[in-house]
Chains A and B, each alone.
Chain A
Amino acid sequence: MTGVDQRTQDVGDVREQRRVPSRNLLINGGFAVAFVVLLVVAATSTDSFLTDDNLTNLLRQSVTTGLLALGMLMVILTGGIDLSVGSVVALTGIMAAGLAEGLPVPVAMLAAIGIGGVCGAVNGVLVAHFRLAPFVVTLAALTTIRGLAYVYSETPITPTEINFLTLGTELLGPIPVATLLMVVAFALAWLFLTRTTAGRAIVAIGGNREAVRLAGINVPRHVLLTYVISGLLAGLAGVILASRVGIAQPSVGMALELNAIAACVIGGARLSGGRGSVPGTFAGVVLLALIDNLLTLHDVQSYWQQVLKGLIIVAVVLARRREDA
C-alpha cells in the first residue's frame, strides 16, 4: 500500500504548499504587495506621511475600526454578523459622557461599556436561543440602539471633567494609550481564539455547527458569547471615541459596522464562518487606516475617497481570492 499512500501524501503536501500563503498573512503575496505599495506611495508621494503627528494620528484613528473589527471577527467566525456596532458606539459614548456628570469618570465609562455588553447580550440571545437570523436581529438593533442614543440625549454632551479626555488623548511616549489598549485587545483575542477551549469552539462552530454540537459543546452559549464580546468592544470603542473627540454625539459612528466588516474580510475572514484570523483582521484594520490617511493627505475630495476606498477593498479581496482558489 506504500505506493498509493505516498501518492496521497505527495498530493496533500502540494495542496498544503499552495494553501499556506492564504493561511499566513505575513507571506501572503497579494496582500503584502498591496500593503507595501501603499506604504511606499504614502512615504514618497508626500512629506507629511512620515511625520510623528500624522503617524500618531493614523494609529489613533484606527482604534475605533480596530476594536469593532475584533468583535465583528468573533461574530463572523460563528457565521453571524453584527450590524449594530456603530449604534452601540453612539449610545455608549453619549451615556459615558452623560453618566460622567454625576459619577466618577472611570465608573461612568465602565458602566457605558457594560451597556455595550448588554446590547450584545440581547442580540446574542435572539440569535443563539431564539434562532433568529443574525442579519435581521442586528439590523433591528442598529436602528433601536441608534434611537436610544437620541432618546438619551438629543443634543451633544460635552463632558466637563478634564480626565474624561485622558483615555482618548493621552500618549505613552509617541504612542496613544488607546492604541496600546487596542493592541492589547488584539493580543488577548488572538490568545483567546487560538488557545482557549471557548475560542476553538467558536472557530469550529462556523465551520460545522452540527459536528460541534455532536462533540458535546454548547453551541448557543458560545454564539451568545461572541455577541457579548462584540458589544463590549463596541462599548469600549464608543467610550474611547467620545474621549478622543471631547464631545459625545448621538449621531456618531454611522456606517462604522461596514468598516469593521471590510477589515475582517480584507483580513481573510469568510462571512459564512469558520475562517478568519486575528492577525489578518489587524492587517485589514491598518490597511484601511492607511488608505484613509493617504487619501486625506493628498486632499482627495471626500466623496472620491469613498469611491477609491471601495475600489481598493475590492482589489485586495480579489487578490486574496486568487490565492485561495
Chain B
Amino acid sequence: MLVLDGVRKSYSGVEVLHGIDLDAGPGEVLAVVGANGAGKSTLIKILCGAVKRDGGTVTVDGRPEQLGNPHAAAALGIRTVHQELSLVPDLTVTENILLGDLPTRAGLVDWPAAHRRAGELLRRTGFSGIDVRTPARRLSVARRQMVEIAKAMASEPRILILDEPSAVLAGDDLDQLFALIRSLRAEGVLVLYVSHRLEEIMAIADRVVVMRDGVITADTTPARTDEAELVRLMAGRRLDQIYPARRTEPGAELLRTTGLSREGCFTDVSVTIRAGEVVGMFGLVGSGRSELAEVLFGAAARTGGEIALAGRPARLRSPREAIDAGIALVTEDRKATGLVLDLSVRDNASLATMRTFRRRGLIDRVRQARSVGDLAERLDLRPRGISRPVGQLSGGNQQKVVLSKWLLARPKVLILDEPTRGVDVAARVDLYRMVDELTRAGLGVLMISSDLTEVLGMSDRVLVMHEGRVVADLRSAETDEEEVLAYSIGVAA
C-alpha cells in the first residue's frame, strides 16, 4: 500500500534522511520510534507533503507519487495528526473539524448539519463530552488533541499518521485512542504511530521500526523485542537505569496547603512538600492538576484555603511573589507558556532572573553568560552554545532551557508540570538525574505527570487527583501502577 524506496532529504546540504526503505500494508499499525533528531519528523513531513524529498520514490497503491504539497497527500487519503496542534483557536470545534469542508445549503453554511456531523465524528473517534460549539481555545490540550484526531477522521483517511498522539492523553482517553486505532485497522487503514512511549507501542503496534541518525536501524514486532532492546536501538547505548535510585529522608516542611480550592478546578486540597522530597502527582486530564500548579505559583487566584511556606502563611498573588518566595513552575506547554522561541538560550534562561544580573543599569553579559553556561554544562545542553535561538533546539533541550530558567532563580520548591512531554529518552534521563541532584541539595519537587511509570519511578510519594480532589497519598515504594490508576479513575476503595 505504502512503499518507500531510498527516500532522502537534505537541509542546506546536510543529509538528514539517508535513504529510507519501508513497505507497509493496509490494516497495519506501524510504530516509528527514535530519539529526537533521528529523522522521524522529516519522514512524516515528507509523507504528508509538508516538505519535498530530494531523492527516492514513494509509491502509494502501486503508483509512484510526488507528494509535492499537503493537498496532494490529502487527496491520496494521507492524513496527519501533528504533535504541534494546529487548531484555529477562535473557531468552534465544529468549524475546526470540518475546516474547508463545511456542509452548505443554498450557498450558506448549514450549521445544524455541520454540528451534527462534527458530533458524529467525535463520537466515532470515541471522544464524547466535547461541546462542538465551544471555541477551540477554551479546550484543554488533551481535548484539542481529540478534536485534531476527529478532524483527521473527517476525510476518511486511508493512511493515518499520528505524531506523538499520546503526549497529552492519559487513562481513558488513551484507551479510546487505542480502540479507535484498532477499529481503523479492522477497516484496512494503515496507521503510522510515532511515539516516545514504548509501553504504548508494545501494546498497540503490529510492527515497530526504529530510526537512528536518518536511517532505519531495526524493523521488528512487539512480540520479538522488548522495551529495553528498543531503547538500546534508539539510543545506541544501554540505559541501564532510567530512574535514579531514590533514598530519601525528607527534611523540613517547605510548602503546605490547607483546604486549598479554586472554584471549578479543584477543592479542599491539602498537601505538604518537604525538603529533599519528590512528590508525584497523577491524575487524568481535567482532574485539576495543572490548575493546582498555577495557583501554587500565583498565576491563578485561589478561592479558598491557605498556603504556608516554611510554616508561614503566604499570599502568592502573582508569579513574581511566588518566585521571590522560592517557588518555580515548569509549565505543561513549553512552547506556549515556557519559552520565547525567537530568543536565545541565554535570554530564555535568564528571563526570570534578569535583574539579578544588573550592574549599573545594564545587564552584566559576562556574568550572565557564565551562569547560563554553567547550567548548560550541568544539564548537558546540546548544542552547548547559548546564543542560539531556543526554537532551533530539540524538545528535550528546550526543556533543559526551561529548567535552567528556574534553577537560576534558586527555588526551594520546584513544580514540574508534565516535564517530559515530547522529550526523548536520553534527555529524559538528564532531567531525571537533575531532579535527583536538586532534591539531594534540599529542594522540594512537585512532579505532575500523566506517565504512570515516570511518576512511580521518580517520586517518593504519589498524590492522586480525581475530579479536583486529592484522593490518595501513597508511598511510591508501597504502591503500584494499578493502584494509582484505580484511584485516579475513582474505582479504588
**A19-59 contacts to B (CB < 8 Å):** 19
Besides A4-B212, A8-B394, 7 other A-B contacts (C-beta < 8 A):
A7-B38, A10-B14, A18-B11, A196-B361, A197-B363, A213-B299, A214-B329
Q: Once the chains bind, are A195 and B341 in contact (CB under 8 Å)?
A: no
A17 touches B12 (CB 8 A): yes
Please list the 7 inter-chain residue pairs (A to B) with the smallest Cβ-Cβ separation, ordered nearest first. A8-B37, A207-B340, A216-B320, A215-B352, A197-B354, A215-B351, A216-B323
CB-CB < 8 A to B299: which residues of A? 213-214
Residue from A200, A213, A216, A218 with most neighbouring chain B CB atoms (10 Å): A216
Is A299 part of the binding interface, using a Cβ–Cβ cutoff of 8 Å? Answer: no
B230 at the interface (CB under 8 A from A): no
Chain B contacts for A196, CB-based, 8 A: 358, 361-363
- Say whether A4 contacts B235, CB under 8 Å: yes
B299 to A, closest residue via Cβ? A214
Min Cβ gap A287→B in Å is 23
Please state if A204 and B363 are interface contacts (CB–CB under 8 Å): no
Determine whether the beta carbon of A1 is less than 8 Å from that of B340: no
Contact partners of A275 in chain B: CB under 8 A: 342
A214-B392 in contact (CB<8A): no
Contact, CB under 8 Å: B362 / A213: no
Judge if B182 is at the interface, Cβ distance under 8 Å.
no
B107 at the interface (CB under 8 A from A): no
A15 in the interface (beta carbon within 8 A): yes
Does B363 contact A208, Cβ atoms closer than 8 Å? no
Is B260 in contact with chain A by the CB < 8 A criterion? Answer: no
- The contact of B382 among A9, A207, A217, by CB within 8 Å, is A9
Known: A1-B236, A4-B213, A11-B14. Is A211-B351 also a contact (CB below 8 A)? yes
- A211 touching B339, Cβ below 8 Å: yes
Determine how close the nearest CB of chain B comes to the CB of A301; give it in whole angstroms: 42
0/1 string, B337-378, CB within 8 A of A gives 1: 111111100010001101101100111010000000000000
Closest to B365 in A: A195
Whole-angstrom distance between the alpha carbons of A275 and B341 in the complex? 11
Q: Is there contact, CB below 8 Å, between B38 and A214?
A: no
Min CB distance A191 to B, Å, is 7
Q: Give A2 to B388 CA distance when docked, in angstroms.
A: 20
A200 & B347 in contact (Cβ 8 Å cutoff): yes
Q: List 27 A-B contacts (CB under 8 A).
A: A4-B35, A4-B36, A4-B235, A5-B382, A7-B38, A7-B214, A8-B36, A8-B37, A11-B16, A13-B383, A14-B13, A15-B11, A15-B392, A16-B392, A19-B389, A196-B358, A196-B361, A200-B351, A210-B336, A211-B351, A212-B340, A215-B352, A215-B405, A216-B318, A216-B324, A216-B352, A274-B342
Asked whether A115 is an interface residue with its Cβ less than 8 Å from the other chain, the reply is: no
**Cβ of B301 < 8 Å from any Cβ of A?**
no
Chain A proximity of B157: nearest CB distance (Å): 29
A197 adjacent to B342 (CB under 8 Å): no
Q: Which of B14, B214, B319, B388 contacts A215 (CB 8 A)?
A: B319
Give Cα distance in the complex from A9 to B379, angstroms: 16
A207 contacts B351, CB within 8 Å? Answer: no
Q: Name A residues whose Cβ lies closer than 8 Å to a Cβ of B.
A: 1-5, 7-19, 191, 195-197, 200-201, 203-204, 207-208, 210-218, 274-275
The answer to whether B297 and A214 touch across the interface, beta carbons within 8 angstroms, is yes
**Candidate in A195, A207, A211 with the most chain B CB atoms within 10 angstroms:** A211
- Chain B nearest CB from A20 CB (Å) reads 11
Asked whether B393 is an interface residue with its Cβ less than 8 Å from the other chain, the reply is yes
B237 at interface, CB cutoff 8 A: yes
Q: Are B37 and A11 in contact, with the CB atoms below 8 A? A: yes
Q: Is the CB of B14 within 8 A of A1?
A: no
Cβ–Cβ contact A1 & B237, under 8 A? yes
- Among A1, A17, A204, chain B packs the most CB atoms within 10 A around the CB of A1
Give the complex CA separation of A13 and B393 in angstroms: 10
Residue of A nearest to B426 (CB): A1
Q: How close is B40's CB to chain A, nearest CB, in angstroms?
A: 12
- Contact in complex: B11, A217 (CB < 8 Å): no
Number of interface residues of B (CB under 8 A): 55
Residue of A nearest to B37 (CB): A8
B175 shortest CB reach to chain A, Å: 32
Residues of B within 8 A of A200 (CB): 347, 351, 354, 363
Bound: A203/B235 CA distance, A: 37
When the two chains form their complex, are residues B388 and A211 in contact, meaning their CB atoms are under 8 A apart? no
Q: Taking CB as reference atom, which chain B residue is nearest A205?
A: B340
Q: Does B331 contact A (CB under 8 A)?
A: yes
Among B234, B347, B383, B388, the most chain A Cβ lie within 10 Å of the Cβ of: B383
Q: What is the CB-to-nearest-CB distance from B283 to chain A, in angstroms, rounded to a whole number?
A: 21
Residues from chain B with a CB closer than 8 A to the CB of A207 are 340-343
Q: Are A217 and B351 in contact (CB under 8 A)?
A: yes
8 A Cβ contacts from B293-328 to A: 297, 299, 318-320, 322-324
Complex alpha-carbon distance, A7 and B394, angstroms: 11
Minimum CB–CB distance from B416 to chain A (whole Å) comes to 14
Residues in A with CB closer than 8 Å to B38 are: 4, 7
Within the assembled complex, what's the spacing in Å between the Cα atoms of A17 and B11? 11
Asked if residues A4 and B236 are in contact (CB atoms below 8 Å), the reply is yes
Q: Are A214 and B319 in contact (CB under 8 A)?
A: yes
Closest B residue to A6 by beta carbon equals: B213
Return A260 CB to nearest CB of chain B, in Å: 22
Neighbouring B residues of A7 by C-beta, 8 Å? 16, 37-38, 213-214
Give the Cβ gap from B141 to chain A, nearest Cβ, in Å.
14
Pair A197/B213 contact, Cβ less than 8 Å: no
Chain A residues positioned under 8 Å from B338 (CB to CB): 211, 214
Identify the closest chain B residue to A207 (Cβ): B340
In the assembled complex, the CB of A13 is this many whole angstroms from the nearest CB of chain B, namely: 7
User: Are the CB atoms of B213 and A11 closer together than 8 Å?
Assistant: no
The answer, among B213, B341, B361, B388, for a CB contact under 8 Å with A16, is B388
How far does the alpha carbon of A8 sit from the alpha carbon of B82 in the complex, in Å?
20
Once A4-B35, A217-B351 are accepted as A-B contacts, the answer to whether A204 and B340 lie under 8 Å apart by CB is yes
> Residue of B at shortest CB range from A204?
B340
Q: Which of A3, A4, A13, A213 has the most CB of B within 10 A?
A: A4
Interface pair A12/B12, CB less than 8 Å apart = no
Q: What is the chain B residue whose CB lies nearest that of A197? A: B354
Instruction: Assess the A197–B212 pair: CB atoms within 8 A.
Output: no
Give complex CA distance A12, B405 in Å: 21
Q: Which residues of B contact A14 (CB under 8 A)?
A: 11-14
- The residue in B12, B354, B355, B394 that gathers the most chain A C-beta atoms within 10 A of its C-beta is B354
Interface string of B164-186 (1 = CB under 8 A from A): 00000000000000000000000
Is the Cβ of A210 less than 8 Å from the Cβ of B235? no
Shortest Cβ distance from B397 into A: residue: A8
Interface string of B1-39 (1 = CB under 8 A from A): 000000000011110100000000000000000011110
Residues of B within 8 Å of A9, CB to CB, are 382-383
* Chain A hits for B397, CB < 8 A: 8
Using Cβ atoms and an 8 Å threshold, which residues of chain A touch B37? 4-5, 7-8, 11
Bound CA–CA A195/B355 (angstroms) = 11
Cβ–Cβ contact B392 & A204, under 8 A: no
The answer to whether B363 and A195 have CB atoms under 8 Å apart is yes
* Beta-carbon contact of B320 and A214 below 8 Å: no
Interface string of B189-230 (1 = CB under 8 A from A): 000000000000000000000001110000000000000000
CB distance from B450 to the nearest CB of A (A): 21
Residues of B within 8 A of A13 (CB): 383
Q: A7-B213, A274-B342 are in contact. Are A1 and B337 (CB under 8 A)?
A: no
Q: How far is the CB of B177 from chain A (nearest CB, A)?
A: 28
